[in-house]
Amino acid sequence: MTMPAGKYYVGDFCYVMTDEEWEEFCGITINGNKCLDGEFQLSDGRRFATYGTAYGDGTYQDYDGDSYSVDAGLIGCILVSDIKANNYDNLLDLGCIEDFDSPFVTCGGRGTKDWDGVIQFGHIMIETNPIEEY
């Protein structure tokens, strides 16, 4: 799946959506007792991609060492210009802002066959199933 070029917030949506947006998001991405992974669209046309993490809530790192706080068991991407919540102060503390110069691939999530725990947004690869070395 691909998302269009632009400046994106990558992180947990529970930090950047209003209560109304979150309710709509949940209505789109939850089917019975299953959370759906992939690319979706809100009723007003705003596109987003979302993927469940391997172990739910926590803090996960991408391959560049950037951290992503998770409280809703997911990591997604949405255009910064499409975020309507008033509080932008936490964006960099809880996720990251990334400029994608061209359309980019998104993939991962629990529903993917042989999934290894990596969630991908273009060149950003977030490890949600870390293997501890002793």
* Cβ neighbours around 59 below 10 Å, total: 9
pLDDT of 104 higher than 70: yes
Instruction: Report the alpha-carbon distance of residue 109 to residue 58 in Å, rounded.
Output: 16
Mean pLDDT rounded to a whole number for the chain = 88
Residue 28's SS3 state is helix
pLDDT of residue 33: 87
Q: Tell me what the mean pLDDT of segment 50-64 comes to.
A: 92
State pLDDT tens for residues 118-132.
999 999 999 998 764
Instruction: Report the alpha-carbon distance of residue 129 to residue 97 in Å, rounded.
Output: 23
State pLDDT tens for residues 65-103.
999 999 999 999 999 999 886 655 666 677 899 999 999
Beta bridge partners of 14: none
pLDDT of 42 higher than 90: yes
pLDDT of 39 higher than 60: yes
Task: Output the 3-class SS for 35-101.
Answer: ECCEEEECCCCCEEEEEECCCCCEEEEECCCCEEEECCCEEEEEEHHHCCCCCCCCHHHHCEEEEEC
